[in-house]
Structure 1
Amino acid sequence: MQQAVSLIKSSSTILLTGHLRADGDCLGAQIVLYHALSAMGKEVQIMLPNLPDQRYGFLEQKTPWKIFDGELPEYDLLIACDCNELGRLGGMVPEILKRSQPKMVVDHHIMMTPDTWDAAFHDVEAAASGILAIELAQLLGAESLPLAAYEAAFVALMTDTGWLKYSNSDQRSFDMASYLVARGVDSSRIYDLVYQQLEDGRPLGVAAALQNLQYHADGKIAVAWVTNDLLTAGNGSLDDTDEVLDIIRAVANVEAVALLCERDAGQIKVSFRSKTILDVNKVARRIGGGGHARAAGASFERSVGMPEAVAQTLEVLLDEFATQ
């Protein structure tokens, strides 16, 4: 990790980025580093590979970011946050590979291609990349940050721990939450901004996804799916799948759940959650994705339709579950 610190200190122009369709942790880590590095006198930009999850748009009010439009700005160092492999940067990858400037990563996922990075601030024991961003800022001597940075770190921590209720909510997580609240973060306000600002179509989108819910393996495995046509027919929207996953995982007998959603241009993404037994990171990796033991995901090739994707997902889920 000292290599990452040294690389930052020796750089003057830094580009921050993160995985496709940035979530709370991905954005939060970038925002923390944006303010920390700016305080060090660095020239810093945030550039996202595509539009982030819209529920986190309020974070942009105090921290600017740009969406990749085919061209990258000049930089001495690229830092990818919450991104365990370069491919998760989407359309930015070809342009990044044209550059010789060093690349580093700040992440808490299992590294898929560690040799890609020139340096890494990496810890799979961290509940969120936002925790690592704060810890990196501290190592860099950026002890006093604006409230916007602490709020972003709080969003990162809370969204990746399910508001400190998931199994990754360890003492380090609670200590970080206390640290951030002590610096002015209003937990109730952040919860309202993240979870109480849904558009009218979100409950209808949840209903559409639950229409196709099926149980397998004596109710231990649950699989649901939803297409864009189903969402349109029901006037629903489902930009974030957490609500559906949480509802299904809350069923007493369910150990693991998979939710398949059709995304842009018909590409199907599957999200996995589990309780205590099944390592869904192993499941996701067999489909070309990855993540954590209790939360993971993968995307299918665009040529794969929903029936085939559901069948593949179920086959892998049942196979991995049978080995437990």
Structure 2
Amino acid sequence: MQPHLDHFRALLAERDRFCILSHIRPDGDAYGSALGLALSLKAFGKEVSVYNEDGLLWNYHFLPGKECIEKTPAAAPGPDVAIIAVDTSTQERLGETFVGWNRQPDVNIDHHQSNPGFGRINLIDAESPACAQILYDLIEAAGLPCPPEAATNLYVGLMTDTGSFQYRHTTAHTFEVAAGLVSRGADPTAIAQRFYQSTSVESFNLKREVLGVTKFTHGNRVAHYRLTREMYAKSGARTDEVENFLEQLQVVGSVEVAFMLEEMEGGKTRVSLRSRGTVDVNAIAGGLGGGGHRLAAGIRSSLPPDELEALLLRQIGEALAAHGG
């Protein structure tokens, strides 16, 4: 990564204006990484815009600097603005509006195994549990400031993408990064309470609906559910209130793989997959046009939901059988 780091340092010296983008259907690492880097660059004296196709989702309104986040504008920034993509596995996942800019990102900072390296400068570490961890190391290596507001956002990214420091890629260095962020002003208790203990009644009701339709197959080693528009209507929940629902299925000790299918507008289906490690869900997602990590991956498909569900169950079953399941 060192040559790319040198190129990144050179870009910082050359440019005064930056825009930072993250993936559609953003999560804690997408927002935390984008805002963390933006606030660091602002403290360094740079002019920074933060864009996301979906804007700011309601459950991230506690993030410092949230007012910086705008929906991606139709018009591309000028050629003097350096474009940085964070926590995004493919250029297309930056959103249709960005694709319409017809611009290659100047910098691509990511931790997804499936990232092809779509930037001019690519800082990719597939062994890192979160993009926020890469950014902390990058900020340190580049000598950038990390004010408390930046540290808080990076901690959110690190906490959420490691499952509160439970997932397999969490290492001793991850805890060193967390300690560094806390020493710079991140408050772990306040952040955890705002993220994990501030759900709405509507979200709670939607979770109850989801648990009621969850199916267990393959000797209870696979759990999955379908999320429909009717379930949203009945519960009153918003589409951005389903983050972390899959983790509820993984509390069952026998479950090796959990996945969900969600009906979307335009006839597409969104799939999220999680694995304890026996099954490489990135490989399954990659074969269906998606991607991610071995333990967490996603797909957007035009296949009919029934066909897609059957296909996923068959491929997951084959993967379990290949490992003696």
Name the TM-score, length of structure 2 as normaliser.
Answer: 0.91
Q: Percent identity?
A: 27
CA contact (8 A) 2:53 2:94 kept: yes
Which runs of structure 2 are paired with 1:15-30 in the superposition (5 Å)?
A: 15-30=19-34
**Counterparts of 2:122 and 2:236, CA distance in 1:** 43
| Distance change >3 Å, CA 102–CA 180, structure 1 → 2 | closer
> Which residue of the partner structure matches residue 287 of structure 1?
288
**Counterparts of 2:206 and 2:49, CA distance in 1:** 34
Which runs of structure 2 are paired with 1:73-88 in the superposition (5 Å)?
A: 73-74=77-78, 75-88=80-93
Instruction: Give the counterpart of 1:43 among 47, 52, 75.
Output: 47
**Counterparts of 2:169 and 2:139, CA distance in 1:** 22
The runs of 5 or more residues in structure 2 that have no matched partner are none
Note the alpha carbon deviations across 1:140-195, whole angstroms, 9 max, x for none.
211x3221100000000000011112222211111111111112221110011111
Note the alpha carbon deviations across 1:93-146, whole angstroms, 9 max, x for none.
33331x4x75211101124432x311111111111101111211122211x322
Offset of 1:61 from its aligned partner? Answer: 4.6
> Which residue of the partner structure matches residue 119 of structure 1?
121
- Matched letter for residue 78 of structure 1: I
- Matched letter for residue 129 of structure 2: A
SS of 1:211's partner is helix
| Distance change >3 Å, CA 194–CA 21, structure 1 → 2 | same
> Which residue of the partner structure matches residue 315 of structure 2?
316
- Matched letter for residue 151 of structure 1: T
SS of 2:68's partner is coil
| Distance change >3 Å, CA 31–CA 229, structure 1 → 2 | same
SS of 2:95's partner is helix
**Counterparts of 1:102 and 1:204, CA distance in 2:** 40
User: 235-244 or 213-222: which moved more?
Assistant: 235-244
SS of 2:10's partner is helix
CA contact (8 A) 1:108 1:125 kept: yes
Offset of 1:309 from its aligned partner? Answer: 2.5
**Counterparts of 1:290 and 1:102, CA distance in 2:** 20
Offset of 1:306 from its aligned partner? Answer: 2.5
Computed over aligned residues only, the root mean square deviation of the Cα atoms, in angstroms, reads 2.0
> Which residue of the partner structure matches residue 139 of structure 1?
141
Report whether the alignment pairs 1:267 with 2:268: yes
Instruction: Give the counterpart of 1:128 among 123, 127, 130.
Output: 130
| Distance change >3 Å, CA 131–CA 47, structure 1 → 2 | same
CA contact (8 A) 2:203 2:242 kept: no
SS of 1:246's partner is helix
- Matched letter for residue 90 of structure 1: G
> Which residue of the partner structure matches residue 95 of structure 1?
100
Note the alpha carbon deviations across 1:22-63, whole angstroms, 9 max, x for none.
111011111121122223322211111223442112225555
Instruction: Give the counterpart of 1:54 among 55, 58, 62.
Output: 58
Offset of 1:251 from its aligned partner? Answer: 0.8
Offset of 1:202 from its aligned partner? Answer: 0.7
Give the total of aligned pairs: 318
| Distance change >3 Å, CA 17–CA 178, structure 1 → 2 | same
| Distance change >3 Å, CA 243–CA 89, structure 1 → 2 | closer
CA contact (8 A) 2:56 2:70 kept: no
